[in-house]
């Protein structure tokens, strides 16, 4: 093989090695369901102050946003997300800082309330709860309902808290046969490529160039 052909082959091998260590595209994942036509109520003061949806993280990565819905009265609510221990008790402080988000006022029938988290870390297979609460708020809605949703992969069950502070470790209530709230959550999977180690590819390329240099020296001295 001529020197030019050998150099071309090595350049192609180097390009292939670089391509193999390129990270895979980041995957976006959504879990959601559809409305059943029913509703869960009543949410607000003086009734139940916290409604939520338990879900299973589909990926290890980040929860980027979640959406819950309310029908009816005008008022302010807070949306939040935290870990769920599976026994109707909410272990909230799984992130830093404390992760809660103030919504715009609920102002129409069937209002979607979307909360952008900024990238809250989640682990695939772990349980989390996203919820709306009026605990401690003024101008909170009363006699408001939350639309119910169909079953869907990744959605576990609807939960509520009648009197306790939802930001503590208080006991919550849930019935697994009550179904789900209407819900959507968007995630980004962590990028975990499995490349060929770059140092090994680099040493292969260096060894090849060293061999070519020796070949050129032998030709010059011949």
What is 84-115 written as a DSSP string? Answer: E-SSSBEE---SSS--EEEPPPB-STTEEEEE
The pLDDT value given to residue 148: 92
Q: What is the pLDDT along the chain (222 residues), one digit of tens a residue?
A: 554 444 454 444 444 444 444 445 568 999 999 999 888 888 888 788 889 999 999 999 999 999 999 887 667 778 888 888 765 444 443 333 334 455 555 655 667 888 888 888 899 999 998 988 888 776 666 668 889 999 999 999 999 888 677 776 667 777 666 789 999 999 999 986 444 443 443 333 333 333 333 334 444 555
Dihedral sign, CA of 179, 184, 185, 186? Answer: positive
Q: Decide: pTM greater than 0.85.
A: no
In angstroms, rounded to a whole number, what is the distance separating the alpha carbons of residues 104 and 99?
17
Could you tell me which CATH class the domain 28-189 is placed in? mainly beta
In angstroms, rounded to a whole number, what is the distance separating the alpha carbons of residues 179 and 197?
48
Secondary structure letter of residue 178 according to DSSP: G
In angstroms, rounded to a whole number, what is the distance separating the alpha carbons of residues 90 and 166?
7
Q: Smallest Cα–Cα separation from 21: which of 209, 208, 191?
A: 191
Structure tokens at 147: 């639309």
In angstroms, rounded to a whole number, what is the distance separating the alpha carbons of residues 3 and 14?
16
């Amino acid at each position: 093989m001529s020197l030019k052909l050998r150099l071309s082959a090595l350049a192609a091998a180097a390009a292939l090695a670089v391509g193999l260590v390129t990270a895979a595209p980041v995957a976006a994942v959504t879990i959601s369901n559809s409305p059943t036509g029913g509703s869960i109520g009543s949410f607000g003061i003086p009734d139940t102050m916290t409604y939520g949806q338990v879900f299973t993280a589909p990926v290890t990565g980040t929860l980027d946003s979640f959406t819950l819905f309310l029908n009816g009265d005008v008022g302010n609510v807070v949306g939040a997300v935290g870990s769920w221990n599976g026994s109707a008790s909410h272990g909230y402080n799984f992130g830093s800082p404390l992760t809660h988000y103030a919504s715009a006022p609920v102002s129409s029938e069937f209002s979607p309330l979307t909360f952008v988290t900024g990238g809250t870390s989640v682990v695939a297979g772990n349980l989390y709860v996203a919820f709306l609460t009026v605990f401690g708020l003024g101008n909170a809605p009363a006699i408001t309902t939350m639309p119910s949703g169909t079953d869907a992969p990744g959605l576990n069950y609807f939960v509520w808290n009648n009197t306790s502070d939802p930001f503590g470790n208080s006991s919550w209530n849930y019935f697994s046969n009550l179904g789900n709230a209407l819900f959507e959550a968007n995630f980004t999977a962590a990028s975990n490529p499995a490349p060929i180690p770059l140092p090994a590819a680099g040493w292969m390329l260096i060894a090849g160039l060293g061999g070519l240099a020796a070949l050129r020296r032998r030709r010059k001295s011949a």
